[in-house]
Structure 1
Amino acid sequence: MRWEKLEAQSTNGGLVGPTSSGPGKRWGHSCNSIRGGRFLYVFGGYGKDNCRTNQIHIFDTATRMWSEPAVYGEQPVPRDSHSCTTVEDNLFIFGGTDGANPLKDLHIFYTSSNRWSSPRIRGEGPMAREGHTAVLVGKRIFIYGGCSKSSNSSHEEYFNDLYILNTETFVWKHAETSGAPPSKRDSHTCSVWRNKLIVLGGLDLDGFYQSDVHILDTDSLTWEKLNTSGQLLPPRAGHTAVVLGKNLFVFGGFWDEQNVFDDIHMLDVETGCWTKVTATGEGPSARFSMAGDSLDPRNRGVLVFIGGCSKNLEALDDMYYLNTGILTEPDRDERRIEKLSLRKKLKQKCQEQHTASPVYGRAETDYQLGRQNSSGRIMFQARVASSSPCSCTIETVIDGKRLSGVIFPTKTGGDDHARSTVMQGANTSVDNIRKYFFKYNFEAFLETFATSGAILINFSFRGIISFAPIGLPRFWCGFESPISSSEITRDLNHGRTFHANEKVSLGL
C-alpha cells in the first residue's frame, strides 16, 4: 500500500470569490464521495478564522482542482461534528454543534443543482447531538450514538440509541433492537458492510476509550459483539474508518491528550482479524477529527483523508490518498442494483430516441460544475415539442429526471409583456417561443413566477408519479391548466392522492 500527498490546484470558474484554494484548515468536517468517486464534497467543520463554517467545497479527483460553488436555498447554520450521508448524489446533513449548543436539524444538499433544502419530517427524531454517526442502508439512514453538550451547562449526556430515517417518506423511527448494544459513546465510527452496521471505538460516558467492534444486522435489528484477533487496534476516539470490500480501514484518532495516532489498521470483518498496515510514501501526521471516504472501490481501491486536528490542537489542511491496491467485486445485492440501473438507463435511452425532435434534438440538461451565467445562476436547456394559440409544450431533464411541461399565461392582470410574448410566439412559430424563453435560466423562471404571476411553468412526470422527487426544490402539484397556487396548496393540504399515469404537474 502507498500513501500519496495531494498538491491540489484551485480554479475560479463559477466560484463565489475570485479564487479558492479548497476548504483550508479544519477539523470536525465531513467528506463525501459521489458520482463514482469523481467528486469529493467537503462541508462544515472548525478551523478557518477560528470559527465554524457552513461552506461547501468540491474537489474534482480527475483534474485535482478545488471549487466553491454558488449555492441556493437556506443554508444550515455553521457547525462541526455533524454527520453527512450520501443518498444517491445528495448529501443529508444532521446535527452537530454550533459551538454553543448541539443541533438536531436535517438539511439536504442537492449536488446537481447546488441547492439546500430542509424537508418536512414526521415522527419523533433523535435528540440534539454531536459526535454521532449516520450511514445509509438501502433507503434508510441509521443514526447511532453521540453526545449532547451545552456551553451553559457542565452536564454531558451520551447516547447509544438508534434512529432510522426513511429517505423516501421522511419519517423518523426509534429502533427497538435486541442483543447487547454498544455502550453509550461519541467520537466513534459506524460503517456499512452489506446490510450490517459496524460500530467501532469511541469515548464512553465514563471517559474510557474503546476499541471494541459491534455489528448490527439491519434486517433483524440485532446487535452482536465481534470477537477480534491479530494485531489488535489500540483504544481510540476521533478516528476515521472506511470500508473497502470486506476490509475496514481505520486511521488516526487519539487516546488522551498525550497519544494521537498516525497509524492505519485493517480489520477483516468476516474473520475479525486485525492487521497493522505498513504503507510506503509520505503519510499524514498524527491527527484526529479528520474526514475520509473511499473513491470508487471497484475501480481504484483508493481511500482519501483530509484535514483534522493535530496533537497541538491546530487545524490541518493537507490531503492524502491511500492506494490500497484492493479491487473489490460487488456483492449480490450491488449486482442487482447495477442491473436495475442499466435497465433504467436503457429505458430512458429508448424514451429519448422516441421523443427526440429531428429539428431541435432532445434536451441537453446534464448539469456540469461551474456551468453558470454571469449572474451566478445555473443554466439549463429545454426543447419546445408543440404549440397552440395559448400555450406551448416543452421537454427537459432536471436532476436526472426526464420532464415535460406547459407554458401559458395565467390570470388577468399579470405581466402584459410576458403574456403577449407567449401569445404572439405561439401564434407565429415554435422557434420564436424557444428563442424567447430558453435564452434565460431556470432561476429567472422561478423569480418570474414568484413576483409577477404572469408565467407558470409546469413539469409533468411520465409514468408513476413521484410525489416528492429527490433533486427538485419546493414545488406545487396540480393539473395542466391555469390553476392558482392557492388551489394547488389546498389540494396538498387535503392530502390528495395522485395515481399512476395521471397527468400531474410540478410548478417550480
Structure 2
Amino acid sequence: MDGVYDAPLSSRSRLERSSHTAFIDDGVLYVWGGYQVADGEDVVLPSNEMWLFNFYSGIWERKELTGDVPPDLMDFCGSYLNGTLYIFAGCDGEGYTNDMFTVDLRSECCVWKRLMNPNGKTPSPRSKHSCWVHRDRLIYFGGYGCKTVGEVQNGSSSSFVLEEMSWRTIGGTLFRCWGWNNEVNVFDTLTRTWSKPETRGAAPVPRGCHAAAILGNKGYISGGVEGATLDLYCLDLESWMWSCLDTSGSVAPLGRTLHTMTATPDGTLFVYGGFGTCGPTLNDAWQYNLHQKGGPN
C-alpha cells in the first residue's frame, strides 16, 4: 500500500468518481476505475491504482497495481469472485472492446493479467452491460456495442436492436453495426471458457444502463429502457428460464436508467436513484418483495 488517508478526503480527491466498480470483502470496500468531470470534460481515472476503505479503522488506502494494466475504460463491467477482480469490455480510446483483465487482490503483489486465448467464442465488444456472479461463473447480460453485419444476420433478430451503421473499416471488417442487445453470455472462471446458453421464456428487450442483482440462483434485471414505469425480469441461472415479474400496484417506480438494485437476504430488491426516462435525476428508493405478489413498496 502507498498512501494512507483519514476519511473524509477533499472533494478534489481522486476518490471522487462515477461509473466505477466497488465491492466489499472482509470488512474492506474496494473501489476501482471510473471518471471525474474536469472543466466539462470526462477524465478517466488511473487503472494502475485501487482504493481501499477499512470499515473498522475508517481509513482509506491506495494500492498500486502493476502488470498488463487495462487501458483507460468507461462503461466497463467489474465483477469480484474468490479474491479476483474481473474487468470485461467497455470503451477505451479506440472504441468498444471485448477484452477481459483480471487481478488477484489477495496476492502481495497485485498484477493485472489480460485474458489471452480463452476457450469458446468471446462476446462482441460492448459497454453498459451487467454481470451476475454465480457458482464460479460470470454471467453477463445486455449492453450497447458493435457487431459485424454478418454477426447480426446470423444471430436472432430479436436479440439486437440496430441503432446505427458505419461503412468504415474496423479491424479488417468493412463495416459494423451499433446497437443494444439482450444476450446472456457465460464465462466459466475455472475452465476459462465462454458459452452462450439458450434461454427460454419472456426475455427483456435489448437494453443497457440497467441494474442487476442476484439472490440464490435467480438473476434480476430492471430498467435501462424507455418506459413510464420500471420493469423487472428474472432469469433462473440453472434452467435459463426468463420471467417477467408483476410490478403493478397502486404506485410503481418511474422508468429509469443508471440506477442501483440490491438484493437483501430477506428476499427483497432495493432500488435507488438513477435518471428518469423523462430526464430528471432521481433520489427515490423502492423495495420489491419477492415473496409477495403485487407491486413494490
| TM range, smaller chain | 0.7 to 0.9
Q: CA deviation at 1:174?
A: 1.2
Question: Hey, what does 1:267 align to over in structure 2?
Answer: 235
Q: What is the CA-CA distance between 1:77 and the residue it aligns to?
A: 4.1
Contact (CA 8 Å) 2:50, 2:64: kept in 1 or not? no
Partner residue, 2:149: none
Q: State the AA in 1 paired with 2:257.
A: F
* Superposition deviation, residue 280 in structure 1: 5.3
Aligned residue in 2 for 1:123: 67
Q: Using the alignment, how far apart are the partners of 2:32 and 2:77 within structure 1?
A: 9
| Distance in structure 2 (CA, Å) of the matches to 1:315 and 1:111 | 29
CA contact (8 A) 1:262 1:284 kept: yes
Q: Which residue of 207, 211, 218 corresponds with 1:247?
A: 218
Q: Are the counterparts in 2 of residues 241 and 248 from structure 1 also a CA contact under 8 Å? A: yes
2:95 maps to 157
Is there any run of 5+ residues in structure 1 with no aligned partner, and where? 1-68, 150-155, 327-508
Which residue does 2:129 correspond to in 1? 188
Q: Cα distance 1:162–1:248, how it changes in 2: closer, same or farther (>3 A)?
A: same
Take 1:294 and 1:110, find their aligned partners in 2: how far apart are those partners?
23
Runs of 4+ in 1 over 6 A off after TM superposition: none
Aligned position for 1:173: 113
| Aligned residue in 1 for 2:30 | 92
Q: What are the superposed Cα offsets for residues 421-475 of structure 1, whole Å, 9 maximum, x if unpaired?
A: xxxxxxxxxxxxxxxxxxxxxxxxxxxxxxxxxxxxxxxxxxxxxxxxxxxxxxx
The match for 1:133 is: 77
| 2-structure distance, mates of 1:323, 1:88 | 28
Q: Is contact 1:109–1:115 with CA below 8 Å preserved after alignment?
A: yes
Please give the alpha-carbon distance, in whole angstroms, between the structure 1 residues aligned to 2:202 and 2:263. Answer: 23
| More helix by percentage | 1
Is 1:303 matched with 2:269? yes
Counterpart position of 2:89: 145
Closer/same/farther in 2, CA of residues 132 and 102 from structure 1, 3 Å limit: same
Deviations 1:370-418 (A, max 9, x none): xxxxxxxxxxxxxxxxxxxxxxxxxxxxxxxxxxxxxxxxxxxxxxxxx
* 8 Å CA contact retained: 1:72, 1:114: no
SS of the equivalent of 2:181 reads: strand
- Cα shift at 1:209: 0.4
Question: What are structure 2's unaligned runs of at least 5 residues?
Answer: 1-5, 147-176, 293-297
The one-letter code sitting in structure 2 at the alignment partner of 1:173 is: K
Matched, 1:288 2:257: yes
Partner of 1:221: 192
Using the alignment, how far apart are the partners of 1:97 and 1:313 within structure 2? 21
Q: Which amino acid aligns with 1:311?
A: T
Alignment equivalent of 1:277, drawn from 238, 245, 262 = 245
- Does the 8 Å contact 1:252/1:260 carry over to 2? no
Shift of 1:287: 0.2
Distance, in Å, in 1 between the alignment partners of 2:67 and 2:228 is 40
Shift of 1:86: 2.1
Deviation at 1:136, TM superposition (A): 1.3
**Conserved in 2, the CA contact under 8 Å of 1:85 and 1:134?**
no
Q: Return the alpha-carbon distance in structure 1 between the equivalents of residues 14 and 212 of structure 2.
A: 26
Give the distance between the partners of 2:128 and 2:43, measured in 1 at CA: 17
Could you tell me the TM-score, scaled by structure 1's length? Answer: 0.46
Q: CA deviation at 1:195?
A: 0.6
Give the structure 1 partner of residue 3 of structure 2. none
Provide the rounded CA distance (Å) in 1 between the counterparts of 2:7 and 2:31: 18
2:42 maps to 1:71: no
Report the counterpart of residue 345 of structure 1 in structure 2.
none
CA distance in 1, matches of 2:79, 2:186: 13
> Residue 325 of structure 1 is aligned with which of 286, 291, 297?
291
Instruction: Give the direction of change, closer, same or farther, for the CA distance of 1:283–1:114 in structure 2 (3 Å limit).
Output: farther
Tell me how far 1:101 sits from its aligned partner. Answer: 2.4
> What's 2:52 paired with?
108
Does the 8 Å CA contact 2:15/2:51 hold for their aligned counterparts?
no
Aligned to 1:388: none
Aligned residues: percent identity?
27
1:270 positional shift: 0.9
1:275 Cα deviation after fit? 0.3
SS at match of 2:277: coil
- Asked whether the equivalents of residues 28 and 52 of structure 2 are also in contact (C-alpha less than 8 Å), the reply is yes
CA contact (8 A) 2:7 2:60 kept: no
Closer, same or farther: CA 199–260 of 1 in aligned 2, 3 Å: farther
The equivalent of 2:182 in structure 1 is: 211
Separation (CA, whole Å) in 1 of partners of 2:57 and 2:268: 27
Cα distance in 2 for partners of 1:85, 1:252 equals 22
Partner of 1:80: 18
SS of alignment partner, residue 134 of structure 1: strand
1:320 partner letter: W
Q: Secondary structure at the match of 2:230?
A: coil
1:171 maps to a residue whose letter is V
1:41 corresponds in structure 2 to none
Q: TM-score, normalised by structure 2?
A: 0.77
SS of alignment partner, residue 273 of structure 2:
strand
Counterpart secondary structure, 2:33:
strand
Q: Which residue of 1 aligns with 2:281?
A: 315
Q: Which whole-Å CA distance do the structure 1 matches of 2:291 and 2:27 have between them?
A: 26
CA drift at 1:112: 2.1
